[in-house]
Structure 1
């Protein structure tokens, strides 16, 4: 059972541009996709060139399975982010344990701060230097991409990762995305450490000391009070000089001193660790959302310039509206098949010696014999606006069922509520090739289209045999 195709209404603007970039990369390899039906739908939908390119890409992605692959990739990316979030929380718990220890020995306040903030501040400095140098070196983001590719489990999703990367770089969103992932995961790490710090300090009794061999106590008094100045403004406790000097000599057993030192440690950790990551995460989130609002295609790319003449004909660009003549028996009942009406007979590449069309009952329109690309495109454009309820396609079974004819039959069938193929009988004195006729039967069976070797005008007129 094939997987259900996700509804296009659930796609975000980023998804649509992402799919468009993936289609462009496929065609950049020299693989021009069969897109006649997609171009026809894009032109029928109207809009400017960008909207038509997006609609064409969406139609091709839905046909070729990349829409389903996008869904798989998004699920894999979400699962990868969940795993990294759990890893971040566990890492934060490890930092808290390393900072406070088992409670048997006193906690060295500077070793504790180094355990809690050291790696975070180093990585924050590296990220800042990378941005200044123009090098978006996001290790966590690369790990996320690798996990997303691994968990997607869809070979068609392999083209989506480079497409997303190129799209974000072109739209200058890659830095915001990298910053949001990196700062967000570090924020989770620090929040996990903060939660465990509060739990351990609430259930264990810790003594706080500082130790030195070379420096005097006055140096530590100044440093500790400088670090605690900002947290003190937020309401966290600040140890006085006498308490700081006493903590350098022995672990204090005074409960008040323990509370003051614990509050000081939490305040410094929150102000210099949690708060910067929170502010950076919010800044990156704002930049990301602001950038998404300005998403646009680079219409100067050669791939999109080649599509301009097909998706936006000169007559439309100049504002000339010259409607093609309507088929006489097709009433404009709307664009959906449920509202289709009328009956239509059309032939494909018949020999000029054959008398055509046959005598038709009243109410059946004749679309003629399609023998050129212009005739085919004209009829497809008409059917996109006025789909018939019944369509009978006449074919000469003396010709081989080539790929182009079968593709045209499939496109015509998509524009009608019900379709049959009429395999015309041989001319008097001639005989049909049995093998070639079998090829027609097999090809039409693959298209799941009913066919008849005798006239089906009765069905075309009334809807039944």
Structure 2
């Protein structure tokens, strides 16, 4: 079975629960049997059952496709953030032909960032579960890039799972702040490149405000950058910066350092700290994630996965959608040889003459006998299994499902298609149906009992 992280195991378990809640119970007899055999508490058995069903029904591959789409969407958003940050820097500084109004430049670089940061913080505090537009865009793009119809069930399951620990806010917070961190780093880098290759003059202008307002604003914004050694202009420099004609080289460089420091502290470092905090909260909450065993979809499975007594002969409701029958082989340690027959009548004597090394499992003609053998083979899987079938019967789905389930519990499997009893003949079309069905299962078949193969492992 595919190796999955603890979060992915919980995610698929929740997906299977939602699927059964909306589409009805799945055909889960083999999944329940394997989960019971693997042991563990109820949560572990629920996960093992769900993972087996997810592997069978293609949800595991759908999860992989969705994750690939999510990574591609994240890469696209990261590229967009980098380009947007560079655009902010170009828009703020211009081509150097005209003086740069420092406060307009600062508004261009940090205005939208701070507005969205405030919106995110208010949503986090008062709404509880904020709906970040970047987060919704990422989820939408992930679905589009996945291009797998089964992946549509994954996102609702993930959101429901994370909401129980209120992890949505921290997961999307990490995404949003991480993307803005990239944008601010891009803006800062392009700013430094432009200032290193172009000559900028910095001014401030006003009609109704006094110079004291700009002096106070410059000092206030420069306090934190000053702790990093990025000192801003003095009061005299601020008052003199109303016309570039009076700006010396020192004044231009001081304004440049101040602008870089403000963007670094309030743009880059602020987003870096928020992204790190959200990531810490996400990892901490992710490790505490667990299933809500009180949900109806899980509580109904308690008796089937952790039975107080074995209940035989209970027929489950047929699922709305049948899964494709398939065979396979077990990865467990196997030993010995076993032969079994499926629904034989009295016209076929059983068992055939067998060597001592080959065990006879009898004829499976009831639900109880099937379950008993499957439980035994789950605990002690045989290395070689021969299944005798009467080709006078139609290869119905129930028989093929049983053959596939038996084959998945053995290392190697062969089918013995019995000859017709004396005085009878096999129907050619029905025999062809058997051949076609067994070829689809990928199982070898013959019209004679494979005694040599059962005894020695070769023909």
Q: TM-score, normalised by structure 1?
A: 0.88
2:47 aligned with 1:57, yes or no?
Answer: no
Match of 1:263 among 252, 257, 264: 257
Q: Structure 1 residues 434-443 or 299-308, which shifts more?
A: 434-443
Q: Which residue of 1 aligns with 2:141?
A: 147
Residues 266-295 of structure 1: CA distance to partner in whole angstroms, max 9, x if unpaired? Answer: 222222222221111011000111011111
Q: Which residue of 1 aligns with 2:185?
A: 191
Following TM superposition, by how much is the alpha carbon of 1:135 offset from its aligned partner in structure 2, in angstroms?
4.4
Unaligned runs of 5+ in 2: 311-328
Residues 355-393 of structure 1: CA distance to partner in whole angstroms, max 9, x if unpaired? Answer: 433343322211122122222111111112222222221
Q: Which residue of 2 aligns with 1:82?
A: 75
Alpha-carbon RMSD across the aligned residues, in angstroms, is 2.2
Q: Structure 1 residues 349-358 or 115-124, which shifts more?
A: 349-358
Distance, in Å, in 2 between the alignment partners of 1:160 and 1:337 is: 28
3-state SS of paired residue (2:341):
strand
2:403 aligned with 1:409, yes or no?
Answer: yes
Q: Structure 1 residues 84-93 or 390-399, which shifts more?
A: 390-399
Q: Which residue of 2 aligns with 1:321?
A: none
Q: Which residue of 1 aligns with 2:314?
A: none
2:119 aligned with 1:126, yes or no?
Answer: yes
Q: Which residue of 2 aligns with 1:322?
A: none
For 1:439-454, list aligned pairs within 5 A.
439-454=433-448
Q: Which residue of 2 aligns with 1:91?
A: 84
Distance, in Å, in 1 between the alignment partners of 2:415 and 2:343 is: 14
Unaligned runs of 5+ in 1: 1-6, 317-334
Following TM superposition, by how much is the alpha carbon of 1:203 offset from its aligned partner in structure 2, in angstroms?
1.6
Change (3 A) 1:221 1:361: closer
Q: Which residue of 1 aligns with 2:323?
A: none
Match of 2:354 among 335, 355, 360: 360
3-state SS of paired residue (2:200):
coil
Q: Which residue of 2 aligns with 1:330?
A: none
Distance, in Å, in 1 between the alignment partners of 2:227 and 2:337 is: 82
Are 1:85 and 1:188, in contact at CA under 8 Å, matched by a contact in 2?
Answer: yes
Q: Structure 1 residues 226-235 or 100-109, which shifts more?
A: 226-235
Residues 102-135 of structure 1: CA distance to partner in whole angstroms, max 9, x if unpaired? Answer: 1121111110111111111111111122222234
3-state SS of paired residue (1:213):
coil
Are 2:165 and 2:289, in contact at CA under 8 Å, matched by a contact in 1?
Answer: yes
2:157 aligned with 1:170, yes or no?
Answer: no
3-state SS of paired residue (1:271):
helix
Following TM superposition, by how much is the alpha carbon of 1:405 offset from its aligned partner in structure 2, in angstroms?
1.2
Change (3 A) 1:271 1:97: same
* Divergent runs of 4+, >6 A: none
Are 1:237 and 1:261, in contact at CA under 8 Å, matched by a contact in 2?
Answer: no
Q: Which residue of 2 aligns with 1:26?
A: 19
Change (3 A) 1:251 1:42: farther
Distance, in Å, in 1 between the alignment partners of 2:85 and 2:458 is: 72
Distance, in Å, in 1 between the alignment partners of 2:66 and 2:16 is: 16
Q: Which residue of 1 aligns with 2:384?
A: 390
Change (3 A) 1:458 1:214: closer
Q: Which residue of 2 aligns with 1:373?
A: 367
Change (3 A) 1:170 1:37: same
2:103 aligned with 1:110, yes or no?
Answer: yes
3-state SS of paired residue (2:406):
helix
Following TM superposition, by how much is the alpha carbon of 1:259 offset from its aligned partner in structure 2, in angstroms?
1.5
2:205 aligned with 1:221, yes or no?
Answer: no
Following TM superposition, by how much is the alpha carbon of 1:249 offset from its aligned partner in structure 2, in angstroms?
4.8
3-state SS of paired residue (1:314):
coil
Distance, in Å, in 2 between the alignment partners of 1:270 and 1:129 is: 23
Distance, in Å, in 1 between the alignment partners of 2:9 and 2:384 is: 34
For 1:256-405, list aligned pairs within 5 A.
256-314=250-308, 339-351=333-345, 354-405=348-399
Distance, in Å, in 1 between the alignment partners of 2:281 and 2:17 is: 26
Q: Which residue of 2 aligns with 1:4?
A: none
Residues 7-50 of structure 1: CA distance to partner in whole angstroms, max 9, x if unpaired? Answer: 723x2222112222222222122242222332233222222111
3-state SS of paired residue (2:414):
strand
3-state SS of paired residue (2:386):
strand
Change (3 A) 1:50 1:111: same
Following TM superposition, by how much is the alpha carbon of 1:91 offset from its aligned partner in structure 2, in angstroms?
0.8
Report 1 or 2 for greater relative contact order, CA contacts < 8 Å, sequence distance ≥ 6.
2
Residues 207-244 of structure 1: CA distance to partner in whole angstroms, max 9, x if unpaired? Answer: 11111111222222222222222222221213222211
